A = this chain, B = another copy of it.
């Protein structure tokens, strides 16, 4: 039957496990380190500007974020930041890279329930090395038929991945916390797009909800996914 869902793509950061909170915590530490030189709000703004400017060079991930923090520290202090503070920023970045993975509530149970009946594929942006570490540490790896770590998530990304690992976009569903990266481009590709908001979502990822679209759904947690699929399947 065309339209029957056989394949489910799942975003990783802030869909399977916590991610953005580590960035916010590190931002708060960063603000503290530089509190003599800049107001926290101003600093956050400058850091965001640096991140935007550097996105084309660094892509997504913690290493690029660390480099942007260092750059911002030099800028806001007009070159007076002591090396000791730079060393603290390096430490903060490395701590992020080794933080233990915290899976979100009901993720393990939901994947376990779906894994037998659907092809599950992790589809995530970010740093290859760091994402592989998190997947390994999460203990969720065995539930997935494939892992796709990509540098961008657009319509073509979903067409390609759902054709390679599934029965094409129309028989697939993408689930994630970013409307911009997970939901809207998957719907454009012809798949279902399921939005599970997370309290913290990076400001770059905000776009409007495609409320009226017949293949758009919004859930309050991953646990609701099994019901949704039986309903529309």
A interface list, Cβ under 8 A from B? 54, 57-61, 63-64, 66-67, 70-71, 73-74, 77, 79-84, 86-87, 90, 93-94, 97-98, 127-130, 132, 149-151
Contact = CB atoms under 8 A, between A and B. Distances in A.
17 contacts: A58-B63, A59-B127, A59-B129, A59-B130, A63-B64, A66-B67, A67-B67, A70-B90, A74-B87, A77-B83, A79-B82, A79-B84, A81-B83, A127-B127, A128-B128, A128-B150, A129-B151
Given A79-B82, A90-B70, A57 B97 contact: yes
Contact of A63 (B67, B74, B94): B67
Contact of A90 (B60, B71, B83): B71
Contacts of A128: 59, 127-128, 149-151
A86 B74 contact: yes
Contacts of A90: 67, 70-71, 74
Interface centre among A71, A83, A93 (most CB of B within 10 A): A83
Contacts of A64: 63
Contacts of A87: 71, 74, 79
A121 B111 CA distance: 32
A129 to B, nearest CB: 3
Contact of A129 (B58, B80, B130): B58
A120 B62 CA distance: 32
A151 B133 CA distance: 10
A93 to B, nearest CB: 7
A179 B97 CA distance: 29
Those 9 A-B pairs whose CB atoms lie nearest each other, nearest first:
A59-B129, A63-B63, A79-B83, A128-B128, A57-B97, A74-B83, A129-B151, A81-B83, A74-B87
Nearest to A75: B87
Contacts of A57: 94, 97-98
Given A60-B129, A63-B63, A79-B82, 12 more contacts: A54-B94, A57-B97, A58-B129, A59-B128, A63-B64, A63-B67, A67-B90, A70-B86, A74-B90, A79-B87, A128-B128, A128-B149
